[in-house]
Structure 1
Amino acid sequence: MRSFPPKEVRHQLFGSVPPSLGTKPCQKEDMTDIQKTEQDFYFHLEQVGICRMSYPVHIMSKTAPQHQTTAAAFTLSTSLAAHQKGIHMSRPSEQLHMFYESSKPLDVNALKELTAALALQMNQSTASVHVSFPWYMEKQSPVTGKSGLMHATIKYDVHFHEKDGWTCHVGCDAQVTTLCPCSKEISEYGAHNQRGSVSIQVKLFEHAPLPDDMKAALLQIIESNASAPLYPVLKRPDEKKVTEEAYENPRFVEDMTRLIAIELYEQPWIQGFQVECRNEESIHQHDAYAKCSYEKNL
């Protein structure tokens, strides 16, 4: 059996060198803090911080599983005055970890606390947190009651201003079934259908009472205005039910966008909204697309 020199010697062979003794200080209090430099740096920055930060979060849901842990993608930022060179980039990470250690469920109220704490620690007038994560829900097939898990993507965008308070947006991205009204009208046999993708973002009234579970409320608005919802498990009786339900509720992408917009408009807790719908056309290589935005006059 072949023998080799010790690991340290092997590393030296492949280029490793001893640490440099160096001349710069090693203690934090003795180190120069370039980020604290103050002079005219020309521009105020609206947002400075970290993005694509993946962290586990706790989610509460009205639907099963009611308690779940999932991985969320975070962006945390604050403003930066023109006379300040930069922020301390470690502090947003510290705030996020403290939020994680608190074990608080991720919701709008928790993110309000996080943004206010971030602005205070960074000594800035504003702070923002954007987070997106998969939310899982158990769904039963419509006839046989077979259970499985599906997910939608939930997005929170919370902005804090020391004088104006908070601006909060909540989004939901989900998939549905749509059936073409034109195909149903002109075809002797059946109609073509496809999977539709819906993305909605709503702006919340600051002091309005909110639903117990905004995630479930937004998903219900999406699914109830499509031709039919999707299910994780379908047996033949379920497939018959879903196919016939879609045939009874044909929807152009324009139809679905407008129907969702109407229901969002009717919610007293929603100040404004944006709806985007996209159908993965089964008889085309391209997708069909529609978008609608609205904000209520105060």
Structure 2
Amino acid sequence: MDKIKSFPKKQLPNKIQRHKLFGSVQPGPRTKPSEKKEMADLQNTKKDFLFDLDEVGIENVKHPITVKSSLVPNEQTTIGTFKFSSSIDKASKGTNMSRFTEQLQSYYQKGFTVDLLTLKTFTKDLADRLKQSDAEVEVSFPWFYERKGPQSNLPGMNHADITLNVKYDDVKGYTIQASLASLITTLCPCSKEISEYSAHNQRGLVKMTVSLADDFDERLLDWKETLLEAAESNASSRLHPVLKRPDEKMVTEQAYENPRFVEDMVRLVAADIYEMPFVTKFSVKCRNEESIHMHDAIASVTYDKLQNEMNEG
């Protein structure tokens, strides 16, 4: 049996001595109040501070949330990245930052399901807590949904990126914007047209941002699934997490049968969104990661139904 080789032990100072070695000092005298009611509140100072502020708050706040969906899984836990803000007038020095996260925690303790109705209530409650006439909440998160192979029917998980923005104003009411970004496949029509055989394709990212009508009821229609279908149904083919050989054959042939320029994509998706009665205005952007170029191809369209129809009328 081999002997365990021993090494001489280094004699270290104890932990207090080590801290002192690296700069720690003894606490000094405490002269300022430790009770909240006795502390100065600089943020609540009232003077003429020159300018109203459009927005003040916090962002990049990560927190667990629950999301419901018409697609499997019907309920999932994911991570939301939040932004909270409100305006303040020039008579106020600042806002109370802790109130944003206090409210987030209170909602989380009750089970924070991120849907439009809950976010509307959250935003108004936030304005009241801040003693302001308005407030804004934005949350982004990955939304997962099951996708099966077209031939094998084998399931896997895809995801799209969601952003919800809710603004509350005690005069104007609510303004709600919803965004969904989804990956798709596009096959180049030009390549198909000029080549003796085959055609190059690329993976595209479609981002749709919509303003929702005041009377839209999310309980009757899952806007996430509706926007996802608008992107995927107009693509050359959909993306799948699990593809066996029969699936791959179907997907490849489907892409060849449905060639799409990046310009085609945004126009086709825009047409679908235009027909959605719960959308008042929208933008569609597509970015294709070209497979035979060093650059990406982009296109976008923006349309305001109310404004355009008023002008055309």
Q: Normalising by the residue count of structure 1, what TM-score does the alignment of the two structures yield?
A: 0.97
User: 2:242 is paired with a residue of what secondary structure?
Assistant: coil
- After superposition, where does 1:141-290 map in structure 2 within 5 Å? 141-210=149-218, 211-290=220-299
Give, in whole Å, the separation in 1 of the partners of 2:10 and 2:270: 73
Question: How far 1:43 sits from its partner (Å)?
Answer: 1.1
Conservation of the 8 A alpha-carbon contact between 1:155 and 1:171:
yes
Give, in whole Å, the separation in 2 of the partners of 1:59 and 1:247: 36
Of 116, 119, 132 in structure 2, the residue corresponding to residue 124 of structure 1 is 132
Letter in 2 for 1:188: E
- After superposition, where does 1:42-57 map in structure 2 within 5 Å? 42-57=50-65
Identical columns (%): 48
For 2:311, the equivalent position in structure 1 comes to: none
Conservation of the 8 A alpha-carbon contact between 1:208 and 1:268:
no
User: 1:228 is paired with a residue of what secondary structure?
Assistant: coil
User: 1:139 is paired with a residue of what secondary structure?
Assistant: strand
Question: How far 1:3 sits from its partner (Å)?
Answer: 4.0
Of 13, 17, 22 in structure 2, the residue corresponding to residue 14 of structure 1 is 22
Give, in whole Å, the separation in 2 of the partners of 1:11 and 1:285: 54
Task: Summarize deviations over 1:125-180 as a string: whole Å, max 9, x none.
Answer: 11001110001111100000111111100110100001111000000011000001
Give, in whole Å, the separation in 2 of the partners of 1:119 and 1:207: 22
Task: Summarize deviations over 1:48-97 as a string: whole Å, max 9, x none.
Answer: 10000000100111112222111111000011011100001101011111
Task: Summarize deviations over 1:113-135 as a string: whole Å, max 9, x none.
Answer: 11101100101111001110001
Give, in whole Å, the separation in 1 of the partners of 2:214 and 2:29: 57
User: 1:297 is paired with a residue of what secondary structure?
Assistant: helix
User: 2:205 is paired with a residue of what secondary structure?
Assistant: strand
Gaps of 5+ in 2: 1-8, 308-313
Question: How far 1:11 sits from its partner (Å)?
Answer: 1.2
Establish whether residue 105 from structure 1 lines up as the match of residue 110 from structure 2: no
Give, in whole Å, the separation in 2 of the partners of 1:99 and 1:263: 35
Letter in 2 for 1:148: G
Q: Normalising by the residue count of structure 2, what TM-score does the alignment of the two structures yield?
A: 0.93
For 1:88, the equivalent position in structure 2 comes to: 96
Q: Which moved more, 1:206-215 or 1:232-241?
A: 206-215
Give, in whole Å, the separation in 1 of the partners of 2:19 and 2:262: 62
For 2:77, the equivalent position in structure 1 comes to: 69
User: 1:93 is paired with a residue of what secondary structure?
Assistant: helix
Give, in whole Å, the separation in 2 of the partners of 1:15 and 1:297: 65
For 2:6, the equivalent position in structure 1 comes to: none
Conservation of the 8 A alpha-carbon contact between 1:204 and 1:269:
yes
Gaps of 5+ in 1: none
Give, in whole Å, the separation in 2 of the partners of 1:195 and 1:104: 34
Alignment length (residue pairs): 298
Conservation of the 8 A alpha-carbon contact between 2:281 and 2:306:
no
Conservation of the 8 A alpha-carbon contact between 2:123 and 2:166:
yes
- Say which one has the larger Rg: 2
Question: How far 1:26 sits from its partner (Å)?
Answer: 1.0
